[in-house]
Structure 1
Amino acid sequence: MTGTASGIIKALNSGIKHLAVKRFTLRYPEEKLKFVGDGYQFDPTTGVGIAGLKGRHMLFHDHCTGCQLCAIACEGIAEAISMVKVPETWKQNKKAIMPQIDYGKCVFCGLCVDACPFYALYMTNDYELSSYTKEALIYTPAQLQVKPSVAQDAEIVIDDRGATHG
């Protein structure tokens, strides 16, 4: 009998604790998450991934050499990166090829960012990538170069209990 009573008390205590916690519900798309910090990056000198969000990729054309390491890293996972010809040539990219990412296939694992030794790719906070057609999910090198404009309204506070509104 004492085991049953202590179980009931534990259950009630757990329920009462959550009555005072503010709910975490966003009215999307009017309210959006506010992310603090940069996107996911990789530091090849230390061999460590720098924590960050894994959203849309950003490509720095002036750093890309067309080495295809990002496409090779993606090959066994999602096969979302293909190398395409670009009209202009860069001093460091004589082949004039750069990555094109199909977000219909991408699993946002970050291995392409890890594989790039020239800091040409990193992942941004832009998580809104929906589209009506599959073709619109294919981002060309020119589209990947554009810095995302993420409207960040709602501030999120993360503590030991989880995420809540600030």
Structure 2
Amino acid sequence: MTSAGGFIKAIESGSKHLVIKRFTFRYPEQKLKFVGDGYQFDPKRGVGIAGYRGRHILMHDKCTGCQLCAIACEGIAEAIGMVKVDESWKQNKKGIMPQIDYGKCVFCGLCVDACPFYALFMTNDYELSAFTKEHLIYTPAQLAIKPKYQGDVEIVIDDRGATHG
């Protein structure tokens, strides 16, 4: 009797999904349509601003080399390492900036929360595939490049961070 009841429950569960619209995408033919900003943190209100958690963008002119992003990442994924940069910035006397290993990153957003200078935030760019592990390590120069979007999405950078227009 119990095996027949289990069989009937399985048939009911499976038949429900025949009429429900598919939730997954057939990637790469179908891709996400971006609506809203990437994930950011507002320290004045002390809350995270919802958004997709994709590739990071680093604002070189705002980064002070304080290493708070790397410290926030230490106990989670250890994906952020501080590296010496060639360029000198007035606000970054140490001359170091974050480098992110996306092979280790879990996209938790704690590094964005930890940055008090709005120098680091996450975008909606989720396509980060690579053929080798070395290509998943993004240097500060690579992190400064805005992601290229298909369609009507454009990144607008202001004093508060970035928004998509």
Q: TM-score range by the shorter chain?
A: 0.7 to 0.9
Offset from partner CA, 1:53-84 (integer Å, 9 cap, x none): 11111101111000000001101111100011
Residue of structure 2 in register with 1:163 after alignment: none
What's 1:106 paired with?
105
Secondary structure of the 1:27 match is coil
Report the residue type matching 2:57 in the other structure. Answer: M
- Partner of 2:91 in structure 1? 92
Alignment match, 1:6: none
Give SS of 1:28's match.
coil
CA distance in 1, matches of 2:14, 2:134: 48
Counterparts of residues 107-146 of structure 1 (less than 5 Å)? 107-146=106-145
Higher Cα Rg: structure 1 or 2? 1
TM-score normalised by length of structure 1: 0.78
Aligned to 2:73: 74
Distance 1:21 1:105, change over 3 A: same
User: CA separation in 2, counterparts of 1:70 and 1:99?
Assistant: 8
Q: Distance in 1 between matches of 2:107 and 2:41?
A: 14
Cα RMSD (Å): 2.5
TM-score, normalised to structure 2's length?
Answer: 0.79
For residues 89-125 of structure 1, the C-alpha deviation after alignment (integer angstroms, 9 at most, x for no partner) is 1111111110000001111110000000000000000
- Which residue of structure 2 aligns with residue 51 of structure 1? 50
Tell me the alpha carbon deviations over residues 9-30 of structure 1, each in whole angstroms, 9 at most, x when there is no partner: xx99988876654333432112
Distance 2:56 2:11 in 1: 46
Alignment length (residue pairs)? 147
For the Cα contact (< 8 Å) 1:125–1:150, is it kept in 2? Answer: no
In structure 2, the partner of 1:160 is none
TM-aligned CA distance change 1:25 to 1:54, over 3 Å: closer
SS in 1 for 2:111: helix
How do residues 9-48 of structure 1 correspond to structure 2 at under 5 angstroms?
Answer: 21-48=20-47
Partner-residue secondary structure (3-state), 1:72: helix
Change (3 A) 1:63 1:30: same
CA pair 14-106 structure 1, distance change in 2 beyond 3 A: closer
Q: Distance in 1 between matches of 2:101 and 2:86?
A: 20
CA shift, 1:152, in A, is 5.7
CA distance in 1, matches of 2:68, 2:19: 50
Q: Extract unaligned runs of 5+ from structure 1.
A: 1-10, 154-166
Q: Following the alignment from structure 1 to structure 2, what is the Cα–Cα distance between the partners of residues 21 and 67?
A: 50
